[in-house]
A and B are shown apart, each in its own frame.
Chain A
Amino acid sequence: MSDASALPVEVSAPRPAARRAGYWLVAVGGLMLAVMLIVTAFGPFIAPYNPAAISPDSLAGVSAQHWLGTDSIGRDVLSRLIIGGRTTLFITAVAVSLALAAGLVLGLVSGYMGGIVDQVVMRALDVVFAFPVFLLAIAVVAALGPTIPNLILTIAIVYTPILARVVRGPVLSVKRWDHVEAARSVGVSEFRLVVSHILPLVISPILVETSLTLANTIFTVTALSFLGLGPPPPDPNWGGMLAEARQFMELAPLTVIAPAAAIVFATLTFIVLANGLRDMLDVGGQR
C-alpha cells in the first residue's frame, strides 16, 4: 500500500460546480412551483368556463374559444385542467404536511430515545413498509371510501414511514455529538435538546426527501384517481380526466395529452427542486 492510499478519497466533498448547479435547479424549480401556485390560487378567476358546464360542442379541437379543446361531453379542457389542479395539489399539500409532521415526531423520538422505543416504532413501520405503497393506498381508500379527507389520510399514512426513517438516521449520529452533550450538561431540557440542538442539523436530508415525497404523492393521488378511487365526480381532477379521456383518445388526443402534461409538470417541479436542494445543501448518500 502506498502512502497516497492512506489519504481519504474526498468523493463527496462539496464541489463548487455542483453547488452552483444546485442553485440554478432550485431557482428553476421555484419558478415552476410559483407558476403552479399562482394558477392554483387564482384558478376560478383564470378559468374561462365553468369546468362542469356541458356544451353540444364535444371533442372539439384547439380553437379560440377552447384553447385546449373540449372533452366527450363538451366541457372545456383548459378550465377543467386549472380547477382539477386545485383538488390534486390540495390533497398533495395537506397529505405531505401530515406525513411530515408524523414522520418528524416518530423519527426524532425513536432516533433520540433509542432502545425499546426505537425497536417498537421501527418494527411497526416495517409492517407498513412491507406493503407495496400503492397496494396499501388502494386497499385503504377502497376500505374507507374515496373522499378527499380519506385520500389525505391514506397518503399521509403511506408516506409517514419513509419520512420517519429519513429523520431517524441522522438523529442517531447527531445525538452523540459534543455540542449535544455540552447542552445536556448545562441542564437544557430534553425537548429543547431535540428541537433546537438536533433538529437543525438533520434538516437538509428532510427537505430533500420531502420534495421527493411531494413528487411521489402527485403520482399516488393521480394514480388513485385514474383507477376511480379519486375525489368524487363533480370536481375535476387530473387523474380522473386522464382516465375519462382514454375512451375517445384517438378522436381527441389533446384530452389525454393535456392532463398528462399537467401531471408531468407538477411531478417535474418537485423532482427539480429535490435535485437542486440535494446539490445545494450537499446531502450525500443517494437512495
Chain B
Amino acid sequence: MRRLVIIRLALAVPILLGVSIAAFILVRLLPGDFAQTAAGVTDVSAATLDLMRHNLGLDRPIWAQYLLWLGHALSGDLGTSFATRRPVTSEIFPRLAVTFELTLIAALMAMAMGVATGLASARLRGRADWAVRLWNGFILAIPNFVVATLIVLLAGLYFPQIGIFNYTPFFTAPIANIGSLLLPALSLALAVSVTVSENTRAAVLEIAAQDFVMVARAKGLRPRSVLWNYLVRNALTPVITVTGLRVASLLGGSILIETIFAIPGMGQYLFDSITSRDYPVIQAIVLVTAAIVVLVNVLVDIAYIRADARVEM
C-alpha cells in the first residue's frame, strides 16, 4: 500500500515538470512581452525597453530563466508578479481559495443531484429510468456558460431583488458568501451531475445483482435498510471517484462562470495576466491548477484502491 502511494506520487513528478516546461515556453510564445505592454502606446526608446527586460531577467537565455524559476519554485517561491511587484503566491492564494470554494460547492451539489437521479433510475426503472435519461441528456447539452447566462437573464427579468452580482467575501459574512455562490455553483454542477447520475445508476444495478444483497434481503432486513446500508453505501465509492475525476473540468469551467457572475477568483486574474503578459502569474496559475488536478487524480486512485480490495496494481 505504501509502495503504491509512493509510485503514484512519483509518477506525478515528471508530469508536473512537463507541465511547467510547457507553460514556461507557452507564455513566451505570446506575441509581445510585459515590457512592451507596460510601456503601452507611449514612445519608449529601445534602450529603456532593454533595461526593463534586463531588470525582469527576460534577456537571459530561456533555459537559464527556466532553471532559475524551477530552483525558486522548488522552495515554494513562484516568483514575483511583473505588474504588482508582489510575490505571486500571496497574490494567487486568496483567489485560489475563492475558486476552490466555488468548485467544492459545485461538486457537492453535483453529487447530491446525481446520486438522487441515479438512484431513482436504478431502483424505479421503467418510466423513471427514461425520465432521468432524458433529463440527463438534456442537461448535458446545455453548456455551463449558457446555463449561467440564462440564470442571469431570468434573475434580471423576474427576481431583480436577488442581486446576482453581489459577491461577498467569506470573512465578512460567511452565510451571504455561500449564498452568493449558490447560483454560480449550480450552473457548474448541472453537467457534472450527469456523470455522477450515470455512474450511480450503473453501480447500484451492479451491486443489487450480488449475493450479499440477496442474503440481506432473504434474512429479512427492511428494504430501506438494504437500500441505504448495502446499496448506497457501496455505490458511493465509484461515485466519489468520478466526481473527483471531474475536478479538472470544474476548475476550467469556473473560469467562465467567474467571468459571468463577476466573482474575484482565478478566472479573471488569469485573463488579466494573459493580457498584460505577466509571465510569472500565468505560469503559477497553470502549474497550480495542473498540480491540483494531478493530486486529486492520485488521491482518487488511492481512495479507490483502499475502498476496493479487488483492485490491485
The residues of A with any CB-CB pair to B shorter than 8 Å are: 1-2, 5, 9, 11, 123-124, 126-127, 130-135, 138-140, 142-145, 215, 218-219, 222-223, 226-227, 242, 246, 249-250, 253, 256-257, 260, 263-264, 267-268, 271-272, 275, 286-287
Docked-complex contact A130 and B31, CB < 8 angstroms: no
The total number of A-B Cβ pairs within 8 Å is 128
Query: Contact residues of B with A, CB < 8 Å?
Result: 14-16, 18-19, 22-23, 26-27, 29-31, 133, 137-138, 140-143, 145-146, 149-150, 152-153, 156-157, 195, 198-199, 202, 205-206, 209-211, 248-249, 251-253, 255-256, 259, 270-271, 274, 282, 286, 289-290, 293-294
Chain B residues within 8 Å of A127, by CB: 15, 18-19, 22
Greatest chain B CB density within 10 A among A135, A219, A227, A264 is at A135
B29 and A130 form a contact (CB under 8 A): no
Bound form: Cα–Cα A131–B141 in Å:
23
How long is the Cα–Cα vector from A175 to B211 in the complex, in angstroms?
A: 35
- Take A143-B29, A249-B153, A264-B146 as given contacts and tell me if A271 and B141 are in contact as well, using a CB distance cutoff of 8 Å: yes
Q: Which residues of A contact B140 (CB under 8 A)?
A: 215, 267, 271
B274 pairs with A139, CB closer than 8 A: yes
B153 contacts A253, C-beta separation under 8 Å: yes
CB of B156 within 8 A of CB of A250, answer yes
Measured in the bound complex, the distance between the Cα atoms of B202 and A271 in whole Å is 19
Q: How far is B167's CA from A85's CA once the two chains are assembled, in angstroms?
A: 35
Question: A29 → chain B, closest Cβ, in Å?
Answer: 10
Docked Cα-Cα span, A127 to B252, in Å, equals 16
Q: A227, B256: Cβ atoms under 8 Å?
A: yes
Once bound together, how far apart are the Cα atoms of A267 and B250, in whole Å?
Answer: 19
Contact across chains for B137 and A134 when beta carbons are under 8 A apart: no
On chain A, the residues within 8 Å of B19 by CB distance are 127, 130-131
Question: Cα distance A219–B140 when bound, in Å?
Answer: 11
A135 adjacent to B209 (CB under 8 Å): no
Residues of A within 8 A of B14 (CB): 123
B15–A134 touching, CB < 8 Å: no
Question: How far apart are the CA atoms of A221 and B29 in the complex, in Å?
Answer: 22
Q: How far is the CB of B232 from chain A (nearest CB, A)?
A: 19
Cβ–Cβ < 8 Å partners of A253 in chain B? 153, 157
Among all A-B residue pairs, the 9 with the closest Cβ atoms = A134-B252, A132-B252, A127-B18, A268-B141, A267-B141, A132-B248, A130-B290, A219-B143, A142-B274
Bound complex: CA A246 to CA B30 (Å): 29
Which of B31, B133, B137, B199 contacts A268, CB < 8 Å? B137
**A226 cross-chain contacts in B, Cβ below 8 A:** 145, 256
- For the complex formed, measure the closest distance between the CB of A116 and the CB atoms of chain B, giving whole angstroms: 15
Q: A132-B252, A135-B286, A139-B286 are in contact. Are A126 and B143 (CB under 8 A)?
A: no
Chain B residues lying within 8 Å of A264, measured Cβ to Cβ, are: 141-143, 146
Question: Whose C-beta in chain A lies nearest to the C-beta of B205?
Answer: A11
B25 to chain A, nearest CB (A): 10
6 example contacts (A-B, Cβ-Cβ < 8 A) are as follows: A5-B211, A11-B209, A135-B251, A135-B286, A145-B31, A268-B141
Task: For A126, give its contact among B15, B142, B157, B249 (CB under 8 Å).
Answer: B15
Chain B residue with Cβ nearest A256: B153
Report the Cα distance A256→B155, complex, angstroms.
Answer: 14
Asked if A138 contacts B146 (CB within 8 A), the reply is no
Contact B29 A131, beta carbon cutoff 8 Å:
no
Question: Known: A134-B252, A134-B253, A226-B145. Is A143-B30 also a contact (CB below 8 A)?
Answer: yes
- In the assembled complex, which residues on chain B have CB atoms less than 8 Å from the CB atom of A257? 150, 153
Rounded to whole angstroms, the CA-CA distance of A271 and B309 in the bound complex is 35
**A-B contacts besides A9-B209, A134-B249, A135-B289, 18 pairs, CB < 8 Å:** A2-B211, A123-B15, A130-B19, A133-B248, A134-B255, A135-B255, A138-B270, A138-B274, A139-B23, A139-B274, A226-B256, A250-B157, A256-B149, A256-B150, A260-B149, A264-B143, A275-B133, A287-B195
How far apart sit A11 and B29, CA to CA, in the bound complex (Å)?
51
Q: What residues on A are CB-neighbors of B206 within 8 Å? A: 11
Task: Please give, as numbers and ranges, the residues of chain B lying within 8 Å of A144 by CB-CB distance.
Answer: 29
A286 CB contacts on chain B under 8 angstroms? 198-199, 202
Give the Cβ gap from A170 to chain B, nearest Cβ, in Å.
Answer: 19
Contact residues in B for A260 (Cβ distance below 8 Å): 146, 149-150
Q: How far is the CB of A23 from chain B (nearest CB, A)?
A: 16
